[in-house]
Structures are given as structure tokens and as C-alpha cells.
A and B are shown apart, each in its own frame.
Chain A
Amino acid sequence: MRTVVDLTRCQGYAQCVFLAPEMFELHGEEGLLYATAVPDDQVERVRQAAAACPVQAILLGEEVSPDGR
């Protein structure tokens, strides 16, 4: 699984950091850095973080599979 955060929307509320500390990290006061690749054992936490983000900035999903169309 992959994740991307829409940082134009993110306001640094840091709920994600609290819910999935291995995947999200504040860099300085409010700059968010996130892990792009989500290991299986973190998927549920990232899902919770995505649900909790007040501005719905976190997207979790599979990448395009070019052959599976």
C-alpha cells in the first residue's frame, strides 16, 4: 500500500502522528513528513489516521497496476 498526504490541505493538526507514529512525523513545528510505503502491519493505523484527519488530507491505496488495468 502507498500513502500520499495532500499537503496543500494539511494544517499540521498531527492527529495522524498520534495515531500512526511510525508512518507520520512532524518535522519542525508543523511540517509533516510521511512514509510513502505502508507495510501491511501499519495499514490499519494509517486507515485510522486517514479517518481522523480533520481536513481529509490522507489518501491510502494501491498504486496503478498497469496490466490489471
Chain B
Amino acid sequence: MADDLKSGRIVVVGASLAGLRAAEKLREEGFTGSLTVVGDEPHVPYDRPPLSKQVLLGQATADTTELPVRRNADAEWRLGVRATGVDLTAKRVLLADGESLPYDRLLITTGTRARPWPNPEEAGLAGVFTLRTREDAAGLSERLSAGPERVLVIGAGFTGSEIASACRERGLEVTVAERGPAPLVGALGGTLSKLAAVMHRNHGVDLRTGVTVTALNGNGAFTGAQLSDGSRVEADVCVVALGAVRNVEWLADSGLAADPRGIACDAGCRAFNMYGIVTDDVFVAGDVSRFPHPLFGYQMLSLEHWGNAVEQAEVAAHNMVNPGPLRRPHLAVPVFWSTQFGLNIKSVGVPTYSDHLVIAQGSLEARRLAMVYGFKGRVTAAVTVDMAKSLDYYRHLIETGAPFPPPPGAADRPIAADVPVPSDVPDPSVLSHGPTVALTGHLPDRRLTVV
């Protein structure tokens, strides 16, 4: 049985970060069978985080972010071909070119795509962009190099904020429109979002919060936008940063538990079918997955985190080629980073799974701090701003379910004296951008379902 698992046919659908790391790990685990990776983008796996950072800053071009490989995965790369469905009974992946690939085990890593502007005609205006792919980044950075009069960024989540930051660094005028009360509020809660708003404004961003963009104007080319408060923004470039949509449509008829929140899987990355019964030959990893996490009340987490894609891909690959008792759970505590306006923001745990927080080190005024989040008296997350070295300490508190507020430890002052304040995590439906961590279950005392 164990030997069988090291051979046979494995198909991976989605040729990006999770797909590549899984392919490498399969070989590292001794898989000697045939390995095929299908990807609809015509590129070998490339890295996305630099697209909103180095590439927009003009320090790297969009065609140089391919991911370095760790080992030769000895795979057949079917690039530029979409998977259009999967037949779970016949164990075949159907491809857009009419072919079908038989598999013994299947891994789904189809990730997400940028949520488009809802009006297709307006979205089609020249100068209107989203940012997810290499092509998006190449097009946007070319427009930024041409020196536009003003850039309008719709949505102040991580991606929107990084785009605004890059534009300011290049000396471009930027307006940011956000439906919520402040940038990053959906991911980090009220307190840090106040710092984020200050950073935007100090760097010269024209930040408009509590407003929605009601229409994009232009005759062929984008010329400006209408806001819900009756004002108008004149701009010649618009970046729609409204969050991500999970690439699950191709699985609509598959019988898998795939819906707009992702593909549900167990802690071992095995996909559930639509009856909630776990499969044993279909695995899921990366941004497209939704998985239960014991540290967060076994709620299903959807993460759009680079580190999660890597860790989960490795667990999935391990479990695809090892028998039951040797399988591992995906229990890594989520970690995320973002650099914007010269600040290094890192989070560990799930900040939205919280009711209170304390500033454990540093201060908002110093723009250097560590903030600890708690839920029902237990530490569930921490966010550091320019204090990355403290992150491991807080990860340990989360992993061990330490009491909240935490006792002084890495803290540089006695935090017991601090009064925890409400974490002020909003209902995601009031934000322009989607949250990058979504809890997709229900808390007894609060609704956190993402629609």
C-alpha cells in the first residue's frame, strides 16, 4: 500500500506557488510515478508579491519574478491550458483543448483571481487595471512610468495600500477610495487601521474613506470616477483592488465542496465532496482552499497568504504519498507580511478572530509596535510594525493558547497595566476590498460569514 502511493499518476491543477512547491515536495517524498502540472497561464510558476512592490517601484520587471526551483520536480508542465472539469468517478481531469488526463491522485491549487470591477463596460476603459498576474503588473507599471496625472485606487486592503504606496514613492498623485472607515481595517481591526490612515495621509495620499465609487467615466479611456458622496475624482489611471475571487467555477459540476469561499478540505488537505464526505484522492492547497484550524475554533479558514500556500502544499504533497497513520495535519499558524509606506507589517494568527487587543510593545506614535489580539481570554493573533523579530514570541503564545492579555515577556513594558480595547473588527461586507483572511464559519456572538 505505502509503495503504491509512491508510484502511479498524480495531476496538479494550478501552476503557481502552491502547485510548484507541491510538485517538488512529492519528489522529495519519494514519488516516482508520473507527475503532470496543468496551468492556464502561459508562464512557468512566478511569484506574485513582488508585482505590487518591486515591479511597481520600477526595481524589477514583471517578467523576472519566476520562482526559483528547489529541486527538479521532473514533471510534465501543461502550461496555457485550462482545466474545465473533473470526473471524480472516472478519475480524469478535463482540459479545455479536449484532452483528459487520468489520475490516481489529484491536487487542486487553482488559487484566486482579482475581483473585477462589476461593470464590464467601465472595466474595459483604457487605463483601468486589476493586479494579480504578470500581465496586469507589466501593463500597470508601464502606465505608471508614463507619468499619469493621478491614479485612483479603489479599495484600501493590503494590495490597494501597497499600490498607493508605490505610486507615492514614484511621485505620482494618488486618490484611494475605501468603503470602510480606514485602510486595512478588515484585516487588522480598528486600532492599526488608524495608523494606516495616518501613513497614507502623511505620504500625501488623498484618502477618502466611507465612500464607494459609483461609476468609472471615460470615452474609451478612463478620465475619472464618481463617488457616493457626490464628488468626482479626475484621474487617468484606475486600479481596482477589491480583493480576490476563488477559481472554483471549473469545479461546479464536479461534486466537490467548491463554492465562492473556496474548496473545503480537512486538516490533511483532503477535499470534501458536496455531501461533506471527505475524499481520499483529491487534495487542495493554497489560496483556493478552506480548511479547519483547531487554534481558531475549528472554523474554516480561507487565507490569501504566501506562506500558507507553501506550507499547505507541502502537507498536501506529503499526505498524497503516505498512508493514513503517517499523514500530517496542516496546523501552521498563519503568517502574513506587507511592506507599505516604508513600514514592515507582519501578522501572525488570525487578527479577525478577536474581541480585544493590547499594544504590547512600542506605540502607534513611534510607528513601531507589537499588538496582541485576544478572543475570549486567549491570545489569537499579533501584528508587528517594524518589530518582526518579536513575531516568533507571539506565535508561541498563540500556539500554546496563552491567556489574554498576555503576561509581560517580550514586552518592553508591563502590559498588564494596559487596558485592552475592543479589536473593532468590522463585518467584511462593509469593506471595499475582501479580507485576506476570512473565517467562513459562525461565531456564536458575531457574524463573520463572507458573502
Chain A positions near chain B (C-beta within 8 angstroms): 1-4, 6-12, 27-37, 59-66, 69
Q: Specify which chain A residues have a CB less than 8 angstroms from the CB of B53 in the assembled complex.
A: 33
Bound: A9/B79 CA distance, A: 30
Closest-by-CB residue of A relative to B42 is A66
9 contacts between A and B (CB under 8 A): A8-B336, A10-B337, A11-B388, A12-B388, A29-B344, A31-B339, A33-B57, A37-B61, A59-B70
Q: Specify which chain A residues have a CB less than 8 angstroms from the CB of B306 in the assembled complex.
A: 6-8
Q: Specify which chain A residues have a CB less than 8 angstroms from the CB of B336 in the assembled complex.
A: 8
Measured between C-beta atoms, what is the minimum distance from A31 to chain B in Å?
4
Any A CB within 8 A of the CB of B44: yes
Q: Specify which chain A residues have a CB less than 8 angstroms from the CB of B424 in the assembled complex.
A: none
Contact A2:B388 (CB < 8 A) given known A33-B57, A63-B44, A69-B75: no
Any A CB within 8 A of the CB of B335: yes
**Contact between A69 and B64, CB atoms less than 8 A apart:** no
Q: Specify which chain B residues have a CB less than 8 angstroms from the CB of A60 in the assembled complex.
A: 68
Contact A27:B342 (CB < 8 A) given known A60-B68, A63-B68: yes
Measured between C-beta atoms, what is the minimum distance from A2 to chain B in Å?
4
Choose among B68, B74, B307, B368 the residue that contacts A1 (Cβ–Cβ < 8 A). Answer: B68
Closest-by-CB residue of A relative to B65 is A36
Bound: A55/B346 CA distance, A: 16
Choose among A10, A28, A36, A61 the residue that contacts B47 (Cβ–Cβ < 8 A). Answer: A36
Q: Specify which chain B residues have a CB less than 8 angstroms from the CB of A61 in the assembled complex.
A: 68-70
Chain A, interface SS category: loop
**Contact between A33 and B344, CB atoms less than 8 A apart:** no
Bound: A62/B193 CA distance, A: 39
**Contact between A4 and B339, CB atoms less than 8 A apart:** no
**Contact between B389 and A12, CB atoms less than 8 A apart:** yes
**Contact between A27 and B339, CB atoms less than 8 A apart:** yes
**Contact between A4 and B389, CB atoms less than 8 A apart:** no
Other A-B contacts than A59-B68, A63-B68, A64-B69, 4 sampled, CB-CB below 8 A, are A1-B68, A7-B306, A31-B342, A64-B20
Measured between C-beta atoms, what is the minimum distance from B123 to chain A in Å?
29
Bound: A59/B50 CA distance, A: 15
Bound: A27/B20 CA distance, A: 29
Bound: A61/B66 CA distance, A: 10
Contact A7:B54 (CB < 8 A) given known A61-B69, A64-B45, A64-B69: no
Closest-by-CB residue of B relative to A67 is B77
Q: Specify which chain A residues have a CB less than 8 angstroms from the CB of B388 in the assembled complex.
A: 10-12, 30
Any A CB within 8 A of the CB of B60: yes
Measured between C-beta atoms, what is the minimum distance from B140 to chain A in Å?
17
**Contact between A28 and B69, CB atoms less than 8 A apart:** no
Any A CB within 8 A of the CB of B206: no
In the A-B complex, the 4 residue pairs with the closest CB atoms:
A61-B68, A28-B342, A63-B66, A31-B339
Measured between C-beta atoms, what is the minimum distance from A21 to chain B in Å?
14
Q: 1/0 per residue B26-51: CB within 8 Å of A? A: 00000000000000000011110110
Closest-by-CB residue of A relative to B345 is A31
Bound: A29/B389 CA distance, A: 12
**Contact between B66 and A2, CB atoms less than 8 A apart:** yes
Choose among B69, B76, B77, B307 the residue that contacts A8 (Cβ–Cβ < 8 A). Answer: B307
Measured between C-beta atoms, what is the minimum distance from B196 to chain A in Å?
14
Q: Specify which chain A residues have a CB less than 8 angstroms from the CB of B389 in the assembled complex.
A: 11-12
Measured between C-beta atoms, what is the minimum distance from A33 to chain B in Å?
6
Q: Specify which chain A residues have a CB less than 8 angstroms from the CB of B66 in the assembled complex.
A: 2, 36, 63-64
Closest-by-CB residue of B relative to A25 is B59
Measured between C-beta atoms, what is the minimum distance from B8 to chain A in Å?
18
Any A CB within 8 A of the CB of B67: yes
**Contact between A3 and B68, CB atoms less than 8 A apart:** yes
Q: Specify which chain B residues have a CB less than 8 angstroms from the CB of A31 in the assembled complex.
A: 339, 342-344
Q: Specify which chain B residues have a CB less than 8 angstroms from the CB of A36 in the assembled complex.
A: 47, 50, 54, 60, 64-66
Any A CB within 8 A of the CB of B234: no
**Contact between A62 and B69, CB atoms less than 8 A apart:** yes
